[in-house]
Homo-oligomer: A and B are copies of this chain.
Amino acid sequence: LRITPVVLSGGGGTRLWPMSRADHPKQFLALTDTLTMFQLTVQRCSDPGRFSAPLVVAGSAHATIVQEQLAALGVTDATVLLEPCARNTAPAIALAALTVPPETPILVMPSDHVIKDAAAFDIAISAALPLIADGWLATFGITATGPETGYGYIKIGDEQAHGVHRVARFVEKPDTMRAAEMIASGDHVWNGGIFLFRADAYLEALATYSPDMLAAAREAMAKARSDGNALYPDADAFAACPSDSIDYAVMEKAEHVAVVPVSMGWSDIGSWDALYEIDGEVNSGPVMAIDSARNLVRSDGINVHMVGVEDMIVVASGNDILILPRGQSQDVKKIVEALKNKR
């Protein structure tokens, strides 16, 4: 059975403001490539020997941009599930699992992550498939490269198959000291939010641990309206669905949960600094930089001219420009907050 890629595109974060905004979030930006991160995610699973047509779950506000970006990629066989409201990842994945035949393996991927080493990802998928066929739920554990406090961690347990381990424990976002301890232990990986399981295995786990969620999702899909390649789950039914992450609702509770540790050049590009770490010095767009070094400069229109500037992040989008020192890009939230308060 071929794998159905499920691309979760519901996010609307502003950590990459001013380029990412509520109406144009990160996954729809071409930050690391000429393709957007959404397009790269779809393209990553386009081998017809392994994958069937992709299933995209997106907010209905992003229907147009999703269709445009699929079309630009030449993808004509995708199904687009348009959520009438946001209910976090567990219900979104439920909608997808209810759309495919029960025994279909589904590979659930956020649409705003970068994976530089596709071959490593492919090997990890292959490693997981036998357990998946037996009804296991698998998550991919990203080899940690530092004591990040922004991710959940997974403690790796006993090996169940070559390269695939039982999950010993899920660990919520830690403080720096706890993160450093986990890194030092050598048996913890980051929870990257990428999952592989059979649709029926997921739905069975939901039936056990979140039956209300499953019932709401079923009703929403039973009453769904379709329009071309788009599916519109029923708004009232979906609104009644509890909101929860797949980690809380299912993975931390289920019995047969596996982790596949993998080092695959992964990043969630959670900040401009994270993008700099991946791509290094970049001047993108109409940028003139003289006697300047170690900057990340991007503009989609404003002409940026710099002399003697070092270690800065400069991002211009529309009529807005952001300027801050490298290493401090988490402070973008201070700007976004201040802008909210101004309105």
Contact = CB atoms under 8 A, between A and B. Distances in A.
Interface of A: 18, 288, 290-291, 301-309, 312, 314, 316, 319-325, 328, 331-332, 334-335, 338-339
A338 B302 contact: no
Interface centre among A301, A316, A321 (most CB of B within 10 A): A321
A341 to B, nearest CB: 11
A334 B307 contact: yes
14 contacts: A18-B305, A288-B339, A290-B331, A290-B334, A290-B335, A302-B316, A302-B321, A304-B321, A307-B322, A307-B331, A308-B325, A308-B328, A308-B331, A309-B312
A136 B267 CA distance: 76
Given A302-B316, A302-B321, A314-B323, 19 more contacts: A288-B335, A290-B331, A290-B334, A290-B335, A291-B331, A301-B319, A302-B302, A304-B321, A305-B321, A305-B322, A305-B335, A307-B322, A307-B324, A307-B328, A307-B335, A308-B324, A309-B312, A312-B323, A316-B321
A305 B323 contact: yes
Nearest to A314: B323
A303 B323 CA distance: 11
A245 B335 CA distance: 50
Nearest to A18: B305
A336 to B, nearest CB: 9
Contacts of A18: 305
Contacts of A322: 305-307
A338 B308 contact: no
Nearest to A332: B307
Contacts of A312: 309, 323
Contacts of A332: 307
A181 to B, nearest CB: 30
Nearest to A327: B308
Given A290-B338, A338-B288, A303 B331 contact: no
A130 to B, nearest CB: 49
A290 B337 CA distance: 11
